[in-house]
């Protein structure tokens, strides 16, 4: 049964989380263990990705209970790609945190919780059971609560309270929707739900249920009216933590939306209009919000909201071109957003401030590092041939195809405003003359670090930049991959057949 | 809350509650019970002792730090979850001994999983409660 | 019975949301707890309430012969209770730390994260 390997990345993260708990006392052991664990997970996820790429969708019926009675794990192309991206970001952030996160935080089991978070993410991508998705979501949020409040500084606790409340509320709404859905259909397996939900008479209740899912996942992915927790909390924890949050936590909400609205609630005109409207409003409010901020991490936080809009809009258009654009954007966004927050951490380390007013002169002092940082910054804008450019073609094409000019306008506006913001960040942080900054008492300046520590800060950013360069220059491959995923998503019969394969064979 | 009644009662209740928690743990596969509830009962036994005889006494009774029970329990559960992989079965499939053992009954990997859950719950609950009561 | 439970669920939801909208940190936690109980009750209710036997097949029979209660909602609720147990424990500790560090339990005072810096 070679399909069992799809759970490898998940099990590796769990194993290392346990091992790290045993190595509670020794920071040195923890640091080496986490790097080893993340490398193993990265290798395993590449293996899984290649396996799925060659053999198509694979399923594991956990406990050997046949679907729809047991919990099914399904690795289709989308799940495998996202697991791979999770492991790439996890690997980079783990190396970055070894130096950048202070000892007081590492001592309280930072790495163990970090692996737990990554396990939750891979589980959420792989599961084929909607209640199990809820459980993975809870694992994700409880580990993220620990990570966001670890350290207990003043503004960190404030951010944590806001983050905590809204995420709990989102989970409750998700659970409510799930209860209604179970009451309607009597099943929790997503493939089974997809078949049963079209047969229901009470379609109005199905619609209410879909909107509840939209609100629940919408809070998690920070779309237009529900995003206020994000800029209030993402700049408070250490930048390594915000990097993994920015790269993956909001995207897991987007993933859940994509999964639910392509598999279960399909082809509803009201929902499509709703998705496009919130997408347009997210792009506008995120973009304008980012424009007026002065803290570099807050600027990036608002940009997350702005770019979530692109993906939600692509989902709302619901053509295979649009979904391919969404998937491509998702792939690009996970890597580049993780990298952005790592960069903000590096800039803080170089200058001991993240206020745009006080920053400056980075280019004249550190020309090589600045050139490296230029790659992800301009990938985000999408200057051709860098990675952000290609998915926008698909999105615009789909917008014209569906004659939805509001969305076309919003995408163009979003791209332009991102360009303006990045140009502003570049000129303020890299070119302008710096202002004197009062340094923290036990702040260790970048120049005072050892060579190996410098390398540990630079390497993750370089690694992620190389990945984004590959996404940009190898756009042909990624485009093919996204088109394949879009095909699989639009034709959900394939997914259903894969889940019920054992049943079909038994006949 | 250091009344003599509670203190005397807790001395007797502690072993009884611990035994009862084991009983709940072991009957849990087909009957109501299981690792989570058993773990909570065992945690309550220690909390009751902490109420009656003070936090220090409860901690010295436990000998090890309750946080240490979590990785132990997790690794037990993890091992029992992955053990079917060695028999080419999907993860978490219940493995059962072919012959029932006299008195105890039929043994399976589910018991190991439940024991893991039991330990994790004791560890987590006691860590939380001890932390809260220490800083209060 | 179902009508009564539906009303209770509604009250729990309303009270939970109301408490979460208050400005006090403690009431926030109370709201989360009430809302969690409301959700659990909703799942229980939507799993259809039946006066039946427990869903365990007797040893001599092969299939169910009598009306039985659906076990899945109970499993879901148990999982949800376990999860909310963990979350609420975390919430209490977080709020306590926040109160100690910030020196206030008024949620309107928590606005330093929105300041320009």
H runs (alpha helix) in A228-268:
229-233, 239-244, 250-263
Closest CA relative to residue A98, chosen from A467, A350, A455, A368: A455
B83 phi, psi to nearest 5 deg: -60, -35
C19 interfaces chain A, CB cutoff of 8 Å: no
Buried b / exposed e across A122-137, counting CB within 10 Å, b at 16+?
bbbbbbbbbbbbbbbb
Task: Dump strand ranges (E) for A69-128.
Answer: 72-75
CA-to-CA distance for A329 and A306, rounded, in angstroms? 13
DSSP reduced 3-state for A496: helix
pLDDT over threshold 90, residue A122: yes
Which A-chain residues 122-151 have CB contacts (< 8 A) with chain C?
131, 135, 138, 141-142, 145-146, 149
Q: What is the dihedral of CA A287, A289, A290, A296, to 10 degrees?
A: -160
Can you give the residue ranges of every domain in chain A? 2-506
CA-to-CA distance for A403 and A82, rounded, in angstroms? 30
Name the DSSP letter for residue A246. I
Positive or negative: CA dihedral A188, A191, A194, A200: negative
Chain A residues with CB under 8 Å of C87 CB are 138, 141-142, 145, 168
Closest CA relative to residue B84, chosen from B97, B93, B73, B71: B93
Q: Quick: pLDDT tens for C54-97.
A: 777 777 777 777 777 788 888 899 899 989 988 998 898 888 88
> What's the mean pLDDT in A423-448?
78
A355 pLDDT band (50/70/90 cuts)? confident
Check if the beta carbon of residue A499 is closer than 8 Å to that of residue A189.
Answer: yes
Q: Which carries the bigger pLDDT value, residue B132 or residue A375?
A: A375
List of chains touching C (3+ CB pairs within 8 A): A, B
| Cis geometry, peptide bond prior to residue A385 (ω within 30 degrees of 0) | yes
* Domains, chain C, ordered by start: 2-52+70-104 (1.10.287.3510)
Quickly list DSSP for C29-69.
Answer: HHHHHHHHHHHHHHHHHHT-----B-S---TT-SS--S-B-
CA-to-CA distance for A68 and A501, rounded, in angstroms? 11
CA-to-CA distance for B65 and B71, rounded, in angstroms? 12
Quickly list DSSP for A419-474.
Answer: HHHHHHHHIIIIISPPPP-PPPTTPPPGGGS-HHHHHHHHHHHHHHHHHHHHHHHT
CA-to-CA distance for B125 and A21, rounded, in angstroms? 17
Q: Quick: pLDDT tens for A230-287.
A: 988 888 888 899 999 998 999 999 999 999 999 888 877 888 899 999 999 999 999 9
CA-to-CA distance for A16 and A280, rounded, in angstroms? 41
Q: How far is CA B107 from its chain centroid?
A: 18
Can you give the residue ranges of every domain in chain B? 4-135
Q: How far is CA A339 from its chain centroid?
A: 12
A507 pLDDT band (50/70/90 cuts)? very low
B131 interfaces chain C, CB cutoff of 8 Å: yes
Check if the beta carbon of residue C78 is closer than 8 Å to that of residue C30.
Answer: no
- The pLDDT score that the predictor gives to residue B67 is 85
CA distance C60 to chain A (A): 23
Name the DSSP letter for residue A150. T
- The pLDDT score that the predictor gives to residue C72 is 86
Nearest to A15 among B67, B78, B90 (CB): B78
B124 interfaces chain C, CB cutoff of 8 Å: yes
The overall average pLDDT reported for chain A is 89
> Is A232–C87 a contact, with Cβ atoms under 8 angstroms apart?
no
Chain A residues with CB under 8 Å of C80 CB are 175
B87 interfaces chain A, CB cutoff of 8 Å: no
A103 pLDDT band (50/70/90 cuts)? confident
Chain B residues with CB under 8 Å of A17 CB are 74
This prediction's pTM: 0.93
CA distance B62 to chain A (A): 18
CA-to-CA distance for B15 and B75, rounded, in angstroms? 26
Task: Dump strand ranges (E) for A220-353.
Answer: none
Q: What is the dihedral of CA A368, A372, A374, A377, to 10 degrees?
A: -150
Inter-chain contacts counted by CB atoms under 8 A, chains B and C:
11
CA-to-CA distance for A417 and A60, rounded, in angstroms? 44
- The pLDDT score that the predictor gives to residue A442 is 64
> What's the mean pLDDT in A302-330?
92
CA-to-CA distance for A94 and A39, rounded, in angstroms? 10
Q: CA nearest A66 in B: which residue?
A: B90
Q: CA nearest B78 in A: which residue?
A: A15
pLDDT over threshold 50, residue A506: no
Nearest to B131 among C78, C86, C93 (CB): C93
> Is A183–C46 a contact, with Cβ atoms under 8 angstroms apart?
yes
- The pLDDT score that the predictor gives to residue A149 is 87
Buried b / exposed e across A336-373, counting CB within 10 Å, b at 16+?
bbbbbbbbbbbbbbbbbbbbbebbbebbeebeebbebb
Check if the beta carbon of residue C105 is closer than 8 Å to that of residue C30.
Answer: no
B36 interfaces chain C, CB cutoff of 8 Å: yes
Nearest to C89 among B30, B128, B135 (CB): B128
Check if the beta carbon of residue A124 is closer than 8 Å to that of residue A191.
Answer: no
CA-to-CA distance for A391 and A326, rounded, in angstroms? 7
Closest CA relative to residue A9, chosen from A94, A83, A91, A93: A83
> Is C93–B132 a contact, with Cβ atoms under 8 angstroms apart?
yes
Question: A137 is written with which tokens?
Answer: 């979501």
Chain C residues with CB under 8 Å of A145 CB are 87, 90, 94
Q: Which residues of chain B have pLDDT under 50?
A: none
CA-to-CA distance for A48 and A60, rounded, in angstroms? 13
Q: CA nearest B133 in C: which residue?
A: C93
> What's the mean pLDDT in A463-492?
92
Q: CA nearest A158 in C: which residue?
A: C110
Which residues, including other chains, have CB under 8 Å from residue A25's CB and lie 6 or more apart? none
Question: A413 is written with which tokens?
Answer: 């506006």
- The pLDDT score that the predictor gives to residue A386 is 87
> What's the mean pLDDT in A137-146?
93
> Is A142–C86 a contact, with Cβ atoms under 8 angstroms apart?
yes
CA distance B31 to chain C (A): 9
Nearest to C94 among A164, A175, A293 (CB): A164
How far lies A165's CA from each of A31, C94, C107, in Å?
Answer: 32, 11, 11
Q: What is the dihedral of CA A303, A307, A309, A313, to 10 degrees?
A: 170
Chain C residues with CB under 8 Å of A131 CB are 76, 79
């Amino acid at each position: 049964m070679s399909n069992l390997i799809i759970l490898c990345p998940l099990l590796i993260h769990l194993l290392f989380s346990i091992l790290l708990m045993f190595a509670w006392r020794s920071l040195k052991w923890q640091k080496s263990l986490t790097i080893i664990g993340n490398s193993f997970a990265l290798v395993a996820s590449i293996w899984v990705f290649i396996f799925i790429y060659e053999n198509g969708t694979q399923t594991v019926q956990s406990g050997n209970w046949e679907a729809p009675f047991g919990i099914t794990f399904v690795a289709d192309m989308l799940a495998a790609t996202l697991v791979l991206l999770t492991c790439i970001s996890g690997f980079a952030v783990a190396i970055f945190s070894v130096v950048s996160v202070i000892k007081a935080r590492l001592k309280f089991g930072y790495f163990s919780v970090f692996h737990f978070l990554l396990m939750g993410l891979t589980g959420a991508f792989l599961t084929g059971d909607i209640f199990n998705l809820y459980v993975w979501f809870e694992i994700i949020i409880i580990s993220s609560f620990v990570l966001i409040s670890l350290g207990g500084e003043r503004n960190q606790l404030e951010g944590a309270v806001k983050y905590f409340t809204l995420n709990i509320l989102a989970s409750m709404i998700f659970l409510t929707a799930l209860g209604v859905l179970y009451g309607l259909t009597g099943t929790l397996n997503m493939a089974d739900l997809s078949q049963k939900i079209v047969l229901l008479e009470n379609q109005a209740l199905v619609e209410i249920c879909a909107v509840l899912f939209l609100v629940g996942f919408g809070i998690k992915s920070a779309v237009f009216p529900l995003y206020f927790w994000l800029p209030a909390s993402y700049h408070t924890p250490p930048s390594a933590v915000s990097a993994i949050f920015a790269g993956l936590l909001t995207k897991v909400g987007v993933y859940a939306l994509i999964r639910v609205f392509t598999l279960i609630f399909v082809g509803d005109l009201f929902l499509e209009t709703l998705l496009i409207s919130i997408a347009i409003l997210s792009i506008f409010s995120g973009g304008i919000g980012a424009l007026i901020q002065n803290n570099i991490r807050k600027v990036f936080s608002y940009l997350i909201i702005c770019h979530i809009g692109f993906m939600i809009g692509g989902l709302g258009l619901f053509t295979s071109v649009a979904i391919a654009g969404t998937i491509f954007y998702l792939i690009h966004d996970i890597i580049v957003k993780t990298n952005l927050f790592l960069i903000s951490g590096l800039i803080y380390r170089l200058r001991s401030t993240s206020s745009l007013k006080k920053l400056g002169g980075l280019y004249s002092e550190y020309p090589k590092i600045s050139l490296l940082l230029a790659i992800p910054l301009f990938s985000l804008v999408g200057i051709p041939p860098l990675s952000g450019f290609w998915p926008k073609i698909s999105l615009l094409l789909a917008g014209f195809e569906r004659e939805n000019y509001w969305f076309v306008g919003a995408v163009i506006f979003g791209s332009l405003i991102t360009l303006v913001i990045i140009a502003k960040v570049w000129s303020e942080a890299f070119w302008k003359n710096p202002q004197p900054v009062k340094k923290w008492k036990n702040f260790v300046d970048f120049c005072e670090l050892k060579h190996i520590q410098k390398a540990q800060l630079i390497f993750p950013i370089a690694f992620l930049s190389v990945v984004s360069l590959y996404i940009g220059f190898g756009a042909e491959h990624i485009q093919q991959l996204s088109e394949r995923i879009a095909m699989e998503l639009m034709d959900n019969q394939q997914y259903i057949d894969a889940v019920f394969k054992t049943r079909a064979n038994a006949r | 809350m250091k009344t003599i009644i509670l203190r005397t009662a807790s001395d007797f209740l502690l072993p009884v509650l611990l035994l009862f928690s084991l009983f709940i743990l072991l009957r849990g596969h087909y009957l109501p019970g299981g690792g989570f509830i058993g773990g909570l009962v065992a945690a309550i036994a220690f909390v009751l002792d902490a109420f009656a005889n003070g936090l220090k006494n409860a901690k010295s009774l436990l000998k090890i730090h309750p946080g240490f029970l979590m990785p132990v329990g997790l690794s037990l559960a993890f091992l029992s979850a992955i053990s079917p992989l060695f028999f080419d079965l999907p993860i978490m499939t219940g493995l059962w001994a072919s012959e029932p053992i006299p008195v105890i009954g039929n043994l399976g990997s589910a018991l190991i999983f439940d024991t893991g859950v039991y330990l994790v719950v004791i560890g987590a609950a006691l860590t939380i409660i001890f932390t809260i009561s220490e800083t209060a | 019975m179902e009508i009564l439970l539906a009303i209770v669920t509604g009250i729990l939801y309303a009270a939970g949301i109301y408490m979460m909208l208050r400005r006090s940190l403690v009431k926030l936690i109370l709201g989360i707890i009430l809302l969690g109980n409301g959700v659990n009750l909703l799942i229980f209710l939507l799993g259809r309430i039946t006066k039946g036997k427990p869903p365990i097949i007797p040893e001599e029979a092969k299939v169910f012969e009598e009306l039985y209660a659906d076990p899945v909602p109970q499993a879901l609720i148990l999982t949800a209770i376990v999860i909310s147990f963990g979350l609420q424990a975390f919430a209490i500790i977080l709020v306590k730390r926040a109160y100690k560090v910030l020196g206030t339990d008024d949620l309107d005072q928590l606005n330093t994260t929105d300041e320009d810096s």
